[in-house]
Chain A
Amino acid sequence: MRAIDFSRQTRDERCLSDLALDRLVAGEPVDAALTTHAADCARCSGRLDEFRRARAFDAPLLDKLRLQGGSVVPLKRRVRLATMLPLFAAAAILLLFLPRLFRPSGEREKGMSTLALDVVVRHADGHIEALAPDGRVRAGDAIRFLVTTPRPGHLVVLGLDAAGTVSVYVADGDQPLPIERGRKQAMPGSIVLDATPGAERLVALECDARFSVANAVDAGRRSLERAARDPRRVSPLDLPGCQEAALTMDKSQ
């Protein structure tokens, strides 16, 4: 997530605004000049592609949100409702209304007693799917992390690969990323996989207190060495005050 720069506009005056790009993505009728500009301008056509890719990439997350819609009121909203009784009646109507709109019968929110890591893969051909344990991916595929946690904390996601490298996929610079409690929270950004073949262990590490990402990387490296650089045999990093969730993927070129 980027900070907002309130000091200047970053686009060229001739280029299209986000609103214009969003209208093009949505397929709404727009002035022909906008369509022509989007086709002719490298920056705008690039951003248009970016918006379209984001739309495809967000689709699984939006499906999940839709399934949750109305089935469970998010915690923050529950708190607000408890203190704002006049809104309760309206909310109750919505709760009755929304499940009929979106939720398949029998769908229930599962509990979230421990940290869980889900990975969504966008393959090079545009197909998007959830990564199964030991699921196959290829160089050039993009992955995105969804983290479920029952408590707020500080998170990193590391990749331990067959070349003995420990990569930091989710962090906030050299610090872990603060995370709230919640289900399937999409982590910022996506990772395009490189050409290193073989297994890669993806480890989400969430701790009560802030910690050094460098220490977590060292722990990952030690664990990988202990496993003779076989990511499938890596044992938990066992950092104090932390919980872990992990998933292995199998990467081919």
Chain B
Amino acid sequence: MDQASMEALYRTYGSMVLRRARTLLGDEHAAQDMVQEVFMKAIRAFPGFRGESSLTTWLYQVTTNHCLNTIRDGARRRRALERRMPTREPVAESAEDRVGVDELLQQLPRELAEVAIYYYVDQMNQDEIATLLGISERTVRNRLRDFKDAARDRLDPDGEKEAAG
């Protein structure tokens, strides 16, 4: 990949990666780091990109994977930090929603988190998600159902589960 192609890739898709990273990470600084990380990865991996999907689709996956890694690494680091700093201030009220989102994405199986991101964040339909992930629509439906059940269990442990279908 020559420099002009890298420039074009960055200019065309940088804003998209930044927007999704902002939403998924909820932190501007981390999102900006993520842009650099995603494009480093993209540049390294580009020779293996076979054009079977669009560049947009491919970068969606790279960004989602890296953001999920960051969110999950963040949980591990935070636990380590809390062990070392037991007197740390409680999380600010404004971050409470964010913590709920992060907890869901940290704790649920990765394949469920991934499908939930594409469905709820990127507003993709099940057909698009199936194509992007190379799985059947039925699997997408099942994962969404499992995600909803698991999320409900965490948010409302006494609530009733939605019927499978």
A: residues with CB less than 8 A from B are 1-6, 8-11, 13, 15, 17-20, 22-23, 25-28, 51, 54-55, 58-59, 61-62, 65-66, 68-69, 74, 76-77, 80, 94, 98, 101-102, 172-173, 175, 177-178, 180, 182, 185-188, 210
On whether A9 and B119 interact (CB within 8 A), knowing A26-B16, A101-B6, the answer reads yes
Q: In the bound complex, how far is the Cα of B116 from the Cα of A117, in angstroms? A: 37
Number of interface residues of B (CB under 8 A): 55
Chain B stretch 107-125: residues in CB contact (< 8 A) with chain A: 116, 118-125
- Answer yes or no: B3 CB below 8 A from chain A CBs: yes
| Closest B residue by C-beta to A2 | B23
The answer to whether B54 touches A23 (Cβ under 8 A) is yes
B residues less than 8 Å from A25 (CB atoms):
16
On whether A26 and B55 interact (CB within 8 A), knowing A17-B122, A94-B40, A101-B3, the answer reads yes
The answer to whether A185 touches B23 (Cβ under 8 A) is no
Q: In the bound complex, how far is the Cα of B93 from the Cα of A3, in angstroms? A: 13
| Closest B residue by C-beta to A12 | B123
B residues less than 8 Å from A13 (CB atoms):
125
- Answer yes or no: B68 CB below 8 A from chain A CBs: no
B residues less than 8 Å from A187 (CB atoms):
28
B: residues with CB less than 8 A from A are 3, 6, 10-16, 18-20, 22-24, 26-30, 32-33, 35-36, 39-40, 43-44, 54-57, 60, 73, 92-95, 97-98, 101, 104, 116, 118-125, 128, 132, 147, 151
The answer to whether A69 touches B56 (Cβ under 8 A) is no
Report the number of A-B residue pairs with Cβ-Cβ less than 8 Å. 133
The answer to whether A59 touches B94 (Cβ under 8 A) is no
Of the candidates A9, A26, A65, A210, which one forms a contact with B123 in the assembled complex, judged by CB atoms under 8 Å apart?
A9
Q: In the bound complex, how far is the Cα of B122 from the Cα of A20, in angstroms? A: 10
Q: In the bound complex, how far is the Cα of B31 from the Cα of A185, in angstroms? A: 10
The answer to whether B32 touches A186 (Cβ under 8 A) is yes
The answer to whether B93 touches A175 (Cβ under 8 A) is yes
Return 28 A-B CB contacts under 8 Å, by A number.
Answer: A1-B27, A2-B23, A3-B98, A3-B101, A4-B23, A4-B24, A4-B101, A15-B123, A17-B125, A17-B128, A18-B122, A18-B123, A18-B124, A19-B60, A19-B118, A22-B60, A27-B12, A28-B54, A58-B19, A59-B15, A62-B11, A65-B14, A69-B36, A76-B30, A76-B33, A80-B73, A173-B94, A182-B32
On whether A3 and B92 interact (CB within 8 A), knowing A26-B16, A28-B56, the answer reads no
Distance in Å: Cβ of A117 to nearest Cβ of chain B: 15
A residues less than 8 Å from B60 (CB atoms):
19, 22
The answer to whether B19 touches A185 (Cβ under 8 A) is no
Main SS class of interface, A: mixed
The answer to whether A9 touches B92 (Cβ under 8 A) is no
Q: In the bound complex, how far is the Cα of B22 from the Cα of A65, in angstroms? A: 15
Interface centre among A17, A20, A80, A210 (most CB of B within 10 A): A17
On whether A28 and B14 interact (CB within 8 A), knowing A69-B39, A175-B92, A185-B28, the answer reads no
B residues less than 8 Å from A185 (CB atoms):
28-29, 32
In the complex, besides A23-B57, A74-B29, 6 extra interface pairs with C-beta distance below 8 angstroms are: A4-B23, A55-B15, A65-B32, A177-B94, A180-B27, A187-B28
Q: In the bound complex, how far is the Cα of B18 from the Cα of A4, in angstroms? A: 16
| Closest A residue by C-beta to B32 | A65
B residues less than 8 Å from A3 (CB atoms):
26, 97-98, 101
On whether A1 and B28 interact (CB within 8 A), knowing A58-B18, A62-B18, A175-B92, the answer reads yes
Interface centre among B43, B97, B125 (most CB of A within 10 A): B125
Q: In the bound complex, how far is the Cα of B59 from the Cα of A162, in angstroms? A: 46
